[in-house]
Amino acid sequence: MADGTQTPGDATRQAPAEKPEAAFREAVIDLGALTANVAHLRELVGTEHVMAVVKANAYGHGAVECARAALAGGADWLGVADLTEAVQLRDAGIEAPLLAWLHDPDADFAPAIEAGVDIGVSSIAQLDAVADARRALVAAGRLHGQALVQLKLETGLSRNGISEPEWAATFARARALEKSGDIVVRGIFSHVSNASPDDDAAAIDTYTRGLGVAAAAGLEPELRHLAASAAALSLPDARFNLVRLGIGIYGLSPFAGRSSADLGLRPVMTLRGRVAAVRRVQGGTGVSYDYTYRTSSETTLALVPLGYAEGIPRHASGRASVSIAGGTFRIAGRVAMDQFVVDVGDHDVQVGDEVVLFGDPATGVPSADDWAEAAGTINYEIVTRIGARVRRTYVGRR
């Protein structure tokens, strides 16, 4: 029999006005929700500047569309990891200030410099590479200003960033390059670990100390930022004059014990598809690879055409649930590359019915958090991993 409860959606909540007909595999992205989330978060944090982080294709939601929606909500900066991501936004006509911070050791900084992208710098070697690229552009007549950089400090995550013993030399080099007209140090930034209040307080102290050393070297950065979504919401001392908002703008909570609704956010992505096949089977029927699930009695099996090629976590096999025809049903057996099966019991499910894997739980469907719990991961991964075969459909544009 079906392993789950049959729960109709909340009829009091208004559905998106532009909801399209369900596709075979589809992520419906509510840009109106994203714009509203940014506006709400900006009001909560109250900083002078807000950076909307749209790296990794906007956490799987679509970078260009989400960048525009975030700017409409009041973000005045955009953030990405890679230079390629930054240049793609520029190529799409997005002119907002933009920071990229994680680079190949042999990165060519010239396209980003030419496009007016701020380059996150974590070493003297990177500073010199940026300056060299800028000089080459000037010599070729392709640039008449400085390269824009933001220095990243290592404050406890043990990732990229300038370590404290290297601060003095790196800041001195940055100041020399400012004086020579090669660069402008527009910001100094870092990240907290969210490991514990004491660890985050130590990171804030380290970062603040770094700002002091930079000032002593003659650097006067316009931007100072340490906090991503979690710290922006929970650590006022970490806000400085810019916060980087990532998972929160997509309507998902960065906290284990607080939901999106608790934070006043609306999930932006609804992942859905259509039932591809329905089969009536007898008790004892094995389902999917390895027969980790066998039906307990006569029942109906529905085939959902999304699998781990779409980013559906195999670890959620037998644990995650989906919504079909007003009911909620658990996955039966293994998630395969292209598909999985749910046991719907005697529920009336037909080929072509909409299947919602996750969306806004206020509508009665499973959430990305539910899927994260089922797969032993975090909501960030659930949405970011959704693959290219899933069509993105955008609704709620303003």
Catalytic residues: 55, 289
**Of 331, 271, 326, which is closest to residue 302 (Cα–Cα)?**
331
Nearest to 188 by CA among 169, 200, 202, 174: 174
Interaxial angle between packed helices 167-179 and 197-216, expressed in degrees from 0 to 180 and rounded to the nearest 10: 40
How far, in Å, CA of 161 to CA of 122, rounded? Answer: 4
Q: Is 269 annotated as a binding residue?
A: no
For 158, other C-beta atoms within 10 Å of its C-beta total 9
Cβ proximity of 140 and 176 under 8 Å: no
Token duo for residue 14? 């208004």
CA distance 366 to 126: 45
1 is in an annotated binding site: no
Cα–Cα distance, 227 to 47 (Å, whole number): 11
- The CA distance from 364 to 72, in Å, is 29
d(CA 75, CA 53): 10
As annotated, the binding site includes 159, 337
As annotated, the binding site for substrate includes 159, 337
